[in-house]
Chains A and B, each alone.
Chain A
């Protein structure tokens, strides 16, 4: 299995631009999580899905952030408009079953200038 796949691995953009991060979970996993990691705040859960349905988006910082999961094999995290404080590493993770081990992708390093 290829594991959780994220793209792009690195993204550099200018303030005000739209950014879309992509994630392909492990096949057969029914939970998908989006996390953000910064030096100041550590690893934070932004939102998670179960069977493609958003369950908890209380970690999404503000309305500029949105996430979708149109099918079981694809999810996006969009930031519009992006701001320098959004610079971070964004991780996607998936799991099978609510209590089970989460498998993390390699992350997308986002830099907003």
Chain B
């Protein structure tokens, strides 16, 4: 299975943009890039996903490198509520394994007022 590499932790100040990187150098052509986050004492929640093109939604933006070997989750203006562990996950739509979410260790984001 293709794997992802993320920094263990990052820090940001409130109202500043945050760029969370993810490396996935062994990504296959059928792998989608998904991001979930887990707020303290809660279950994970979906943030965004993409395949090749950059994606935007109400929560965040996803920038995908042209070679797809890396991606960046962008929080445009961090709030205290964005403090969470962010997981970058590859889902292979070409196999049954797409049903599964394989969580790595994620990036713990701290946001300071």
Contacts and interface: CB of A to CB of B under 8 A. Distances in A.
A80 B52 CA distance: 46
Contacts of A102: 44, 46, 101
Main secondary structure of the interface of A (DSSP, over half): strand
Contacts of A99: 32, 91, 93, 98-99
B102 A101 contact: no
Interface residues of B toward A: which range? 10 to 19
Contacts of A103: 45-46
A113 interface: no
Interface centre among B43, B93, B98, B105 (most CB of A within 10 A): B43
B29 interface: no
Interface string A14-42: 00000000000000000101000000001
B44 A42 contact: no
Contacts of B103: 42-44
Interface of B: 32, 42-46, 87, 91, 93, 96, 98-105
